[in-house]
Structure 1
Amino acid sequence: MQRLDDLLKDPLVLQGLQLLIWLVIIILGIGFLRRLAKNRIENISIRYKAQKGIEIIGYILIAILLLVTFTLDSVRDYTIIIGLFTAGLTFTLQELILSIAGSFYIFFLRVYKPGDRIEMNNIKGDVIDIDSIYTTIMEIGEWVNSDNYSGRIIKISNAFVFKGPIKNYSMDFPFVWDELNILITYDSDLELAKKTIMDGATELLSDYTNESKTNWAKMVQRYYIEDAKIDPSLAISLTDNWIVLNLRYITDYKLRRSVKHRLFEKIERSIKLTKGKVKIASTTLQLLKIPEVEVHVK
């Protein structure tokens, strides 16, 4: 008991116990406030932001507590030990420290947020959660075509924001350019084909075009970027077999596949209405019959 009493009188031990008690109180407080926000706030977006805000405030309080504790006069004699311990801990937990730093970087600089479609570390998908260590992504692509979900949920360390590029499909400009090729024969009416395709594209994409022009104007004001063409455009190229009409257009980043499908349907119906003046080209193989040979034997 005497040894225990002497140990508790040691200022360093006393400060360690106080630090531990405060850490437990802050961690329990974070958990309680997160559950309270989950039960009281119905709006999913506001609830998510409130929970993340509580978590970040808790981390800041812990950092302040550690900073105050280790700068007190009673531990100044242990600066060398603390320095060596901190250096070793930093080296051992560098990935964890980078991940936590990455979470602050993501949050304050708004690199991406839940709901954004990103590609990071060669993984593409929609962000569904960001915590202090990991970013959780609903994967798209891989063994499925186009921008469909694969069904896999992937966790990526937040440290990757410092290690490579992050491709964000929705930040500032939630539209992407896409293209499709229509192949027509050389005996088709080229001008009629161009008009048919452009009329169909303009009619179908008018909402996306008007909406994207407003967003692009903001982009031009904010960034050093040229005022690009937003309206659908058509380019022609000639091959040995057919004429290629390349349609370039803008669309919502989440609706790229469905918009391309509707464009193909509309253009195919419009070409049929030309009554043969415009013909879709295809590879044709012609099989020739071997000529019959008459053999006369004397």
Structure 2
Amino acid sequence: MILFFGLLIALTAIGIDKDSSLNFALGKTGEDPLMLFELLRVIFLLVLLVFLSGKLKIIFVKQVMSRYSDDIGVNQSIGTIFQYVAVLIGGLIIIQSTIELGSLNVLAGALGVGIGFGLQNIANNFISGLIILFERPIKVGDRIEVGQVTGDIVRISSRATTVSTNDNISIIIPNAEFISKPVINWSHSGRNIRFHVPVGVAYKEDPAHIKSILLGIATKHPDVLQTPPPDVLFKEYGDNSLNFDLLVWTSTYINRPTVLKSQLYYLIFEKFKEHNVEIPFPQRDIHIKSGSALPQK
């Protein structure tokens, strides 16, 4: 604001004010011309409004919403809606108090044509962002899969959503992708996720003994939840093995499923080795049948 008023004083001091020859009309409808300085002042005030609303959003989320909710995704969504409302109301006040609306007809017509032909994708993504904020199918902190991208949502803006992968790579996805394509949200209803750990053993092993070993491993792992408890399913008689499925619940490895599976597989291998449990491998029997003698010519 100091820079703004200082600039106005400096322009007035050198004779560049609203009555200056440099302040020419950009368009005219009736008796309400759109002056250059008025347009520049509106643009400056709108930019200042967006900047200040962003700062107010941060204060609102961290100082106000954090007292009532611990869900950062909900807080960010409410804060973004608050920012949009502030920008909309403030923008209307700035335009109405600075420029006569009748003088904007020519500019609004040109802008409408531009939006209709050149800004369709931007408008689509903006509306999709509003749908995401109000319906909240995804929010900041969720673990999602969309297309070939898997990661955590770190930011939802008016045009795009930022997703951070396990390799700390930020991927910018247009908001329309979350509306028009199927999205897998791992944490939509909570942070407790069940993982499947397939295990195969030789046919000579006792299924009850295998179940006891697997449950003992899962129960002792510090990141496996005991409520709901882990379970073991006898899935099928495979071609070369008895196939089991170890089911475990966790709330800490939702964004690192392969790490938890790797830890469990290490423990399973050690326990199987300790109890002399055979881990099978594919075997094939080849039968060679001699062909009949070829007729002599």
Q: TM-score scaled to structure 1, two decimals?
A: 0.65
Contact in 2 for aligned 1:126/1:138 (Cα 8 Å): yes
Question: Is it true that 1:249 corresponds to 2:248 in the alignment?
Answer: yes
CA distance in 2, matches of 1:73, 1:36: 28
1:119-157 Cα shifts (integer Å, max 9, x gaps): 224322111222221211113xxxxxxxxx234321111
CA distance in 2, matches of 1:59, 1:236: 57
Q: 5+ residue gaps in structure 1?
A: 140-148, 214-229, 287-298
- Please report how far the alpha carbon of residue 41 of structure 1 lies from its aligned counterpart in structure 2 after TM superposition: 9.3
Matches within 5 A, 1:110-125: 110-125=136-151
The answer to whether residue 205 in structure 2 is matched with residue 188 in structure 1 is yes
* Aligned residue runs from structure 1 range 1-298, under 5 A: 11-14=31-34, 18=38, 21-32=41-52, 34=54, 49=76, 52=80, 55-61=83-89, 64=92, 74=102, 86-139=112-165, 149-204=166-221, 208-210=225-227, 213=228, 231-252=230-251, 253-274=254-275, 276=276, 278-283=277-282
Q: Amino acid of the residue matched to residue 240 of structure 2?
A: N
Would you tell me which structure has more helix in proportion to its own residues?
Answer: 1
User: In structure 1, what is the Cα distance between the partners aligned to 2:118 and 2:214?
Assistant: 61
Describe the shift of the 1:183–1:93 C-alpha distance in structure 2 as closer, same or farther (beyond 3 A).
same
- Given that 2:155 and 2:163 are in contact with CA atoms closer than 8 Å, whether structure 1 keeps it comes out as yes
Find the residue that maps to 1:270 and give its secondary structure.
helix
How far apart in 2 are the matches of 1:231 and 1:188? 21
Change (3 A) 1:121 1:59: farther
- Deviations along 1:68-115, one digit per CA (max 9) or x if unpaired, are 69xx88469x69x95686255223211111122222222222232222
Partner residue of 2:289? none
Q: Is the 8 A contact 1:183 1:282 kept in 2?
A: no
Identical amino acids, percent of aligned pairs = 20
Between the aligned partners of 1:12 and 1:29, the Cα distance in structure 2 is 25
Counterpart of 1:26, as a letter, is L
Cα distance in structure 1, aligned partners of 2:39 and 2:122 = 22
CA spacing shift, 1:284–1:250, aligned 2, 3 Å: same
SS at match of 2:33: helix
3-state SS, counterpart of residue 138 of structure 2: coil
Counterparts of 2:167 and 2:223, CA distance in 1: 31
Name the count of aligned residue pairs: 253
Cα distance in 2 for partners of 1:155, 1:235 equals 42
**What one-letter code is carried by the residue in structure 1 that aligns with 2:121?**
E
Q: CA deviation at 1:28?
A: 1.0
1:117–1:125 contact (8 Å) kept in structure 2: yes
Q: RCO higher in 1 or 2 (8 Å CA, sep ≥ 6)?
A: 1
Match for 2:85: what amino acid? I
Tell me the amino acid that sits aligned with residue 272 of structure 1. Answer: K
**CA offsets 1:220-259 (integer angstroms, 9 cap, x no match):** xxxxxxxxxx742312322332222222333332242232
Distance 1:207 1:249 in 2: 6
Change in 2 beyond 3 A, CA 1:162/1:187? closer
Kindly indicate whether the alpha-carbon contact (under 8 Å) linking 1:179 and 1:247 is maintained by their aligned counterparts in 2: yes
TM-score, structure 2 normalization: 0.65
Contact kept? 1:251, 1:259, Cα under 8 Å: no
Following TM superposition, by how much is the alpha carbon of 1:181 offset from its aligned partner in structure 2, in angstroms? Answer: 2.3
